[in-house]
């Protein structure tokens, strides 16, 4: 006779624990080395090198004015360093605001009255 149902259950449970343990080790390794990958870019380019996201020494990720992750310090800064003066038009500020978290993550207070519209005093401009 076989070992029975309890044995199969514990065998599958053990496999699940091993998978979880490996995933946690990988996540710790990424955090320890301050590496991260943009999964959208990885899917698009199929290249780890092109999708690697660099962080500064404090662990911050840089964003450009469109809210895209960048590794070029001359084109970006950390998200909470942006304010309305960094944008020329309301649509430009709105696109950045939505891409880095919107009302639920408005760390730079681009939406002072919390109505979902960033930098309302800027010129209307063209929609991006």
Contact 80, 107 (CB under 8 A): yes
pLDDT tens, position by position, 16-73: 999 998 888 766 666 666 667 777 777 888 887 777 776 666 667 777 777 777 766 7
What pLDDT sits at residue 56? 66
pTM exceeds 0.75, yes or no: no
* Average pLDDT value for the chain: 79
């Amino acid at each position: 006779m076989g070992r029975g149902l309890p044995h199969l259950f514990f065998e599958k449970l053990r496999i699940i624990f091993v998978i979880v343990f490996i995933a946690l080790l990988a996540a710790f390794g990424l955090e320890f080395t301050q590496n991260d990958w943009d999964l959208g870019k990885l899917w698009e380019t199929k290249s780890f090198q092109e999708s690697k996201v660099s962080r500064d020494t404090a662990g911050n990720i840089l964003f450009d004015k469109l809210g895209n992750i960048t590794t070029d310090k001359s084109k970006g800064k950390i998200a909470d360093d942006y304010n309305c003066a960094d944008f020329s038009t309301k649509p430009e500020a709105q696109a950045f605001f939505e891409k880095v978290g919107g009302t639920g993550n408005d760390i730079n207070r681009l939406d002072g009255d919390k109505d979902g519209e960033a930098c309302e005093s800027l010129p209307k401009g063209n929609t991006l």
